Amino acid sequence: MVAALDAGKHVILTGPPGTGKTTLAYLAAELGRHSMLCTG
C-alpha cells in the first residue's frame, strides 16, 4: 500500500466487513496529511 501511494497510484481496499479497511484508510490519510515536500 505504501509503495502504491508513494508512486501516486490509487488503492482499493477490499474484503469482508469488520476486517479494518476503514481504519487502514483513515490511518493512511492521517499519515499522508503530515507529510511535507520541500524543494529548492
Q: Mean pLDDT, consecutive 10-residue segments, the chain of 40 residues?
A: 82 95 89 72
Residue 6 is assigned to a structural domain of this protein? no
Residue 29 lies in a domain: yes
Residue 4 resides in a domain: no
Q: What is the residue range of 33's domain?
A: 12-40
Q: What is the pLDDT of residue 35?
A: 65
pLDDT at 18: 96
CA 38 to chain centre: 20
pLDDT of residue 19: 96
pTM of this prediction exceeds 0.85: no
Q: Residue 5 contacts by C-beta under 8 Å, 6 or more apart in sequence? A: 11, 28, 32
